[in-house]
Amino acid sequence: MLYPRVIPCLLVHNKGLVKTVNFKNAKYVGDPINAVKIFNEKEADELMVLDIDATTDKREPNYRMIEHLAQECRMPLCYGGGIKNARQAKRVFSLGVEKIALSSAIVYKPELIAEIASEVGSQSVVAVLDVKRKLFGGYDVFIENGSKKAKINLEKFLVEMNAQGVGEIVINSIDKDGCMEGYDLDLIDKIKPLVKVPLTVLGGAGSYEDISTLVERYGIIGAAAGSLFVFKGKYRAVLISYPEPSIKTNLFKTVMEKS
């Protein structure tokens, strides 16, 4: 039986673990390897690690860091950052990563998804779309860590991703990033009918209730979060956390009852 996935998303900046608000003001929260060890103990469903410097710095992925993360990680690991071609993707997979996340590169070259999928399988290729609400409705896609608006239509691009054979789509709300005020459900309502593969939502989760709301509304979906799993309390003290199995079961109660 398939269940929703609860996925911590870790951002790497200057080789440290950080958390942003609206893609700005990166706050250092610790060492990525230590965070992975804690999520191992808490038996997280999956882990997403995004190097937010690689593309903006125009460099290749940090293979040494990826290797260390993969060696430590005891759950499926999705890595993104700096991957621009199939050669780099294959090297990342060779280090023990289960999925790769592509963002800016596929805006410039959508067929990169098909190229990599033909080598490693569609299930291992993830498209991450960073989006921001337009002033008068709709959404724009941004690239290079939110610094540049892409000249594409979100809805048409989602259809293109399906056609290229993507295995999963992560939709990340820049407006909600780090705000801990709940997911952008209007955004998900808009795009979910266009997504024909597993969908993961990132940006805005501030409580387990936000995850429960997402699952109740959409069923089998990925619920990703950053701040929720690294901060505690209104003063945002750094504390790595993850829901216990009993709490997760309760979060998924609606889906389980329908199965």
- Could you give the residue numbers annotated as active site? 130
Residues 6 or more apart in contact with residue 104 via CB below 8 angstroms:
55, 143, 144
- Give residue for tokens 């337009």: 134
Measured between alpha carbons, how far is residue 146 from residues 21, 91, 101 in Å?
12, 26, 16
Query: How, if at all, do strands 168-173 and 199-202 pair?
Result: parallel
Query: How, if at all, do strands 199-202 and 222-225 pair?
Result: parallel
In 83-138, DSSP assigns E strands to 99-102, 125-133
Q: Give the count of beta carbons closer than 10 Å to the beta carbon of residue 178.
A: 23
CB 206 within 8 A of CB 179: yes
CB 223 within 8 A of CB 186: no
The SS3 of residue 186 is: helix
